[in-house]
Every structure is written in structure tokens, then in C-alpha cells.
Amino acid sequence: MIDTHCHLDTDAFDGDRDDAIARATAAGVTGMLVPAIRPRTWAALVGLARRHHAAGVRCALGVHPQIVGELHDDELAGDLAERIARACTEGGAVAVGECGLDGATGHQGRQEAIFRAHLRAAKQLGLPVVIHVLRAHDAAPRVLREEGPVAGVLHSYSGGADLVPVYGDLGLHFSFAGPVSYANARRPIEAARAIPAERLLAETDAPDQAPEGHRGGRSEPALLPAVIAGLAVARRTAAREIAELTARNAKRLFSAW
């Protein structure tokens, strides 16, 4: 199994980061992609990925749209696309991100400009993009079309089944986190059923969105089997098949593991 989105570098794991990685390995997780939140964390994240490379930890470097209003001037200095590209190259990142658009937070114009910088960096490097879209499914396809084709994934996909063809035509993959396993889930289950098999991925979004049985607590990569189980129920197939499928798709998209 491969967890394509977990924030192991955040302070939620300061007390047991190494143990969390060990628990993931014991649970059968062979790969973990940790996307950055802001430039000031890039160096530490690169170090984390290098220290735990044998456990399958890899990194993506970018700027989360929800943090845009908190960024310091030095984090946005210069040509951001060039800074992202250089950092990814020097840090051995396997993807660009996390980046995207979040309609629940402000600074929409700045968010879009920063998102475009990520897409340009990804195209320059030939790397996939880890994309966050929440309450912005009207704007995100437009930006993606205007910037041209790029490989990537909509992490913790929040759109409906009706938008799957829209993003699919843009060449994107779709990843699902804990909500697909919730007993009262409807929208994520309908969307999960609509995803072409070769575009499906799984994640924990740790420390957020813990799966059924752990709701209200901290999520971590060791809980990925519960997400896989939720996807299996949604797609009416065996959990083993979902685990193999999503791992195979992750390896192909990120050229890692």
C-alpha cells in the first residue's frame, strides 16, 4: 500500500514521528508521500524524506493554498516557479505541491497566482502536481486548462461524480482519504465509483481526516488499510485488489517506490 498524501512533517507528529513511520511499515505501507505546506518547511521536509528513504518516505515541495495569508515576504520573494523548481531538483522531490485553490479561505487572487507558479514549475521539471481543491471547482479546471497539460492528483477529492470526466480530461488522478470510509458517506462513495481504475489513489491526509473507527482522532499512515477498505466497499471489490491497484497507480504517477 502507498499513502500518497500524509503530513508527517507537521508538529502533530513531533512526539512520535519515527514510531508513526514504523507503525506504517508494520501495517504494510511501503510508500508515503509527504507534501510541503510552506517554503520555510522545505529544508526540514527534504531531510525527513532522506532519513526515512528506506521506509518509502518521499517528498513534494510547494505552498498550500490555505497558508497563503500567513506567508512571510521572504517565502514569496523572487520568481516562485523558479524557486519551486530549484528546490524540487535539489531536494529530490518526486512531485510539486501541495498547491491549489481553497474557496474557504481568502486571498483568491494570490492563491491563483501561486497555483500557476506550481503548474509552471511542474511542467518545467516534468513532475506531477499534488493539488488541493476545496470549494473552488469552478476555478480550478479553468486554471489547469489555461496553464496547459500537467500530470497530477486531486488529493482527498472533494468534487462529485459529475466532475470526474472534467478532471479526467485534464489528465488528473483522484485520491481518497478517510471520508470514503465513513458510515454515512455518500458523495465520496459516488465519486469513487466513477473514477477510472487507472486513475485511483489512496491517502490518509494525516494528521487530518482519520478513517472510520478513528474519527475525531489523529490520522496516520498506519490507518491506510481502513481507507483502502472504504474504497473497496465503494467500488464493490476486494480490499487486496484496491491496495494493489492504488499502489501500482502511485508508482506510475510519481515514478517512485
pTM of the entire predicted model: 0.98
Helix (H, G, I), strand (E, B) or coil at 145: helix
* Domain containing residue 14: CATH number: 3.20.20.140
Which among 15, 136, 9 has a CA at the least distance from the CA of 62? 9
Strand order of the β-sheet with 172-176 is 2-3, 31-35, 57-61, 95-102, 129-134, 152-154, 172-176, 200-202
Residues of the chain with pLDDT under 50: none
The confidence score (pLDDT) of residue 130 equals: 99
Q: How many domains does the chain have?
A: 1
The confidence score (pLDDT) of residue 132 equals: 98
The confidence score (pLDDT) of residue 172 equals: 98
173 DSSP β-pair partners: 153
Chain center to CA of 182: 20
CB atoms within 10 A of CB 191: 22
The confidence score (pLDDT) of residue 148 equals: 92
Taking all residues of the chain, what is their mean pLDDT, rounded to a whole number? 97
The confidence score (pLDDT) of residue 140 equals: 98
Per-residue pLDDT tens over the stretch 110-155: 999 999 999 999 999 999 999 999 999 999 999 999 999 999 999 9
The confidence score (pLDDT) of residue 125 equals: 98
Q: CA of 88: how far to CAs of 94, 153, 178, 252, in Å?
A: 8, 17, 28, 19
The confidence score (pLDDT) of residue 212 equals: 97
Q: What are phi and psi of 202, to 5 degrees?
A: -130, 150
Q: Domain of residue 69: give its range.
A: 2-254
